[in-house]
Structure 1
Amino acid sequence: KSIRARKPAAQYADYLSSVYEAIPDGILAPFLANHDTGRAIGSLQARSSLERAKFAETILNMIGGCTFTYYGEEIGMVGSGDDPNKRLAMYWNDGDMTAQPPGVTNIEYAYPCVDDQLADEYSLLNYMKALNHLKLDNPAIARGATEIIFSDAYVCVLKRVWEESTIYIVMNFSPKSAQSYTLEVSGLELGGILDVSEENTSVSFMETGAQIELPPYGVCVLTAK
């Protein structure tokens, strides 16, 4: 819900606060969809907004914990209504399709097949691969204690500490406008960047911290020495 709210970053921060307060010692297992729910592309109203689909996957993964991806979500599969419609065959390519489950009433694929998306550097699938690599390179994203150090209408900044690692996650929730944020922490290094389009995030490091320029739906991870 927060991705389409009037003040999406603030609502996301409020949601995280309530979750962390309710489950202080648990390991979260968030997901956007499963075999009993409508596909995320539909609930996100993202059939015509690839950027929104990408960013939704990112803010889910930035919650922390063990994130689950229902098969097909990584290529933007759709399906709702009767349960078989939510369990369509994986769309590998146009010539390689397994049988559809019994009872299907609507067969539709909103985004290209796996093979086509692998060949497109700006596809949802390649974005998901980059997201997973970012998490592997920065294990604290999925672990440790979280502090929300800033949130306004469109920018949310999380601090996460795990063992000897401290990271800062800076996110722009605006679908249309760039946002700036100055993180005043010394000894920062770049942990990674996720951009939903050809517009790029830029980071300028200073002795006292970093100046971050985020395009729409841009995300930057910084690590503290």
Structure 2
Amino acid sequence: MVKKRIAWIAPILLVSGCTNVFSGEEEAMKWSQETPFVEDTESRIYYEIFVRAFADGDGDGIGDLKGATSKLDYLHDLGVTGIWLMPINPSPSYHGYDVTDYTDVHPDYGTIEDMKTFVKEAHNRGIDVIIDFVMNHSSSEHPWFQQALAGDETYRDYYVWSDDSTNLNQVGDWQQPVWHGEGEPKYEGVFWHGMPDMNFANSQVMAEFKEASQFWLEEIGIDGFRLDAAKYLYSAYQLDDHHEENVALWKDFNAHVKGIKPHSMLVGEVWDSASVVGQYLQGIDSGFNFDLSSRILSSVQQEKDTGIAPGLEKVRNHFSSVAEGYVDSTFLTNHDIDRVMSQLNGNEDHAKMAASLLLTLPGNPYLYYGEEVGLEGMKPDEHIREPMIWTKEESPEETTWIERRYSTNREKVAVEAQLENEDSLLHHYREMIAVRRSHPILMDGEVTVSEVKKEGLVAFERVLDEESVLVLHNMTGARVDVQLPEQWVDLYYRNGDSEQNGQSVQMAPYSTVVFSH
């Protein structure tokens, strides 16, 4: 069953060099700045928000839900149709991934009523809301764990403890200690001693999370969850076949969630190979495509195709063979990865090409806040989560939760400045999102390898039912001459000053063209 979506007309975009060459009836069939968006689709374009850094609604320097609510018109105009909020629960840490209460809002961010307002206002603009849900571990300050430490056997069984057969010297994937605590037994905390792992062999643990999820879905009205550390519910230190057991847990949780809200989305963080991600897609709706992220950024850095379409087609064929109805979640970077503009050494042409690739490939794309204006940042993690810059001059709506180390040129990266610059990265994102949302194939179509080959060119087809489009990206700073197969004659979209003469196309540097037939 397909859920009807709100139609939204593309904003007027004055992107320098954008050319529409058709007129009359022919033009009505092509993309233009007023083309209506596709309605009948459950595909989304998500925007990831770290609330602490996004916008301040009460003047205390810390981002909050009121501030985020005040920016929903900005996100609507950008064209996103979904929001992922990083953890908003009470937590002793700035990032929030060690939760102390699964059914409340961090006091720095506001109240439950503020969250209800945020969700309602997002829905009024046709935007879904999903929230981070951290089921793998709690905070060591959570009342459950504190009662466990005090000797309460009920809550002690909520967590994983060592026994006589445990190798207490085990280390994790990045050589971190796994077992923690004074004396013995030790408790498992794969990520950190402040994040003790939950014991999902105890069915009451899953019952607690089902109850919390029901609260967010029914009482608050959210549209799903981003599942942190999805492959660790049972860790490799507990079970050899932990992936299989984890998938069974996610199937159970997914059935529970869908029973409450059938169209809700469960997207999991499974940072692993496609073969492992494919297993989890049998239990959750979607997984993040870390492989594609690396491949896109590598292609734009090298100004050549690193096998984007063949690699993605292979992965998607595998996913569809193991999980009917799966959704691929694509992205460039997120809160755990150095920001796009920093990885690209400030090269705006490369950043635009990365956006063009992401937004013309299949899947649900996720944009990390500030990516659309070129916000910079490199690890440690705090500095890839620096404040969003809204205005050319400092303003009360901007957060000051951490001293900025990157993106110090406000005149360049502020939203206000980029809205005034018709050739800005922000305008490019707005246009590419509008193009994507204007065509069913670009929203929902599969990807296939194209017969068009040229050095410096990324070429692929998007296919939906009996229709298809050809997408060409010139990754280089030089013009590229492309000879089109005879079926590709109708130009649907182009940017830059690319020129077409019959089956010959001379593509402008760092440009994109889309053909239909």
TM superposition score normalised by structure 2: 0.38
The whole-number CA distance in structure 2 between the counterparts of 1:115 and 1:142 is 29
Deviation at 1:164, TM superposition (A): 4.6
Task: Write the letter of the residue equivalent to 1:74.
Answer: E
The answer for the alignment partner of 1:9 in structure 2 is 305
Deviation at 1:105, TM superposition (A): 6.4
The answer for the alignment partner of 2:479 in structure 1 is 178
The whole-number CA distance in structure 2 between the counterparts of 1:56 and 1:187 is 24
The answer for the alignment partner of 1:143 in structure 2 is 444
What does 1:13-52 align with in structure 2 at a 5 Å threshold?
13-24=309-320, 26-45=326-345, 47=346, 49-52=347-350
Task: Write the letter of the residue equivalent to 1:159.
Answer: E
1:108 to 2:407 alignment: yes
What does 1:113-192 align with in structure 2 at a 5 Å threshold?
113-149=414-450, 150-174=452-476, 176-186=477-487, 188-192=489-493
The whole-number CA distance in structure 2 between the counterparts of 1:170 and 1:153 is 12
Q: Say which structure, 1 or 2, has more relative contact order (CA 8 Å, 6+ apart).
A: 1
Distance verdict in 2 for CA 1:145–1:105, change over 3 Å: closer
The whole-number CA distance in structure 2 between the counterparts of 1:107 and 1:4 is 20
The whole-number CA distance in structure 1 between the counterparts of 2:332 and 2:491 is 28
The whole-number CA distance in structure 2 between the counterparts of 1:12 and 1:44 is 18
Match of 1:92 among 378, 390, 412: 390
Deviation at 1:65, TM superposition (A): 1.0
Distance verdict in 2 for CA 1:72–1:211, change over 3 Å: same
Distance verdict in 2 for CA 1:105–1:88, change over 3 Å: closer
- Count the aligned residue pairs: 211
1:222 to 2:506 alignment: no
Distance verdict in 2 for CA 1:61–1:75, change over 3 Å: same
Task: Write the letter of the residue equivalent to 2:509.
Answer: P
Task: Write the letter of the residue equivalent to 2:316.
Answer: Y
Q: Is the 8 A contact 1:169 1:221 kept in 2?
A: yes
Q: Is the 8 A contact 2:342 2:377 kept in 1?
A: yes
1:53 to 2:346 alignment: no
Distance verdict in 2 for CA 1:188–1:57, change over 3 Å: same
Please provide the CA RMSD for this pair.
2.2
Task: Write the letter of the residue equivalent to 1:4.
Answer: Q
User: Unaligned 5+ residue runs, structure 1?
Assistant: none
TM superposition score normalised by structure 1: 0.83
Q: Is the 8 A contact 1:13 1:151 kept in 2?
A: no
Deviation at 1:37, TM superposition (A): 1.8
Q: Is the 8 A contact 2:460 2:470 kept in 1?
A: yes
Deviation at 1:125, TM superposition (A): 0.4
Q: Is the 8 A contact 1:190 1:221 kept in 2?
A: yes
Deviation at 1:98, TM superposition (A): 2.1
Q: Which has the higher helix share?
A: 2
The whole-number CA distance in structure 2 between the counterparts of 1:22 and 1:204 is 39
The whole-number CA distance in structure 2 between the counterparts of 1:106 and 1:187 is 48
The whole-number CA distance in structure 2 between the counterparts of 1:34 and 1:113 is 20
Q: Is the 8 A contact 1:9 1:151 kept in 2?
A: no
The whole-number CA distance in structure 2 between the counterparts of 1:4 and 1:220 is 20
Q: Which has the higher strand share?
A: 1
Q: Is the 8 A contact 2:436 2:442 kept in 1?
A: yes
The whole-number CA distance in structure 1 between the counterparts of 2:306 and 2:406 is 37
Deviation at 1:187, TM superposition (A): 6.7
3-state SS in 2 of match to 1:67? strand
1:68 to 2:369 alignment: no
The whole-number CA distance in structure 1 between the counterparts of 2:465 and 2:330 is 23
User: Unaligned 5+ residue runs, structure 2?
Assistant: 1-297
Deviation at 1:10, TM superposition (A): 4.8
The whole-number CA distance in structure 2 between the counterparts of 1:109 and 1:72 is 13
Q: Is the 8 A contact 2:386 2:404 kept in 1?
A: no
Distance verdict in 2 for CA 1:82–1:216, change over 3 Å: same
Deviation at 1:134, TM superposition (A): 1.0
> Which segment is superposed worse, 69-78 or 24-33?
24-33
Q: Is the 8 A contact 2:442 2:462 kept in 1?
A: yes
Deviation at 1:3, TM superposition (A): 1.8
Task: Write the letter of the residue equivalent to 1:40.
Answer: V
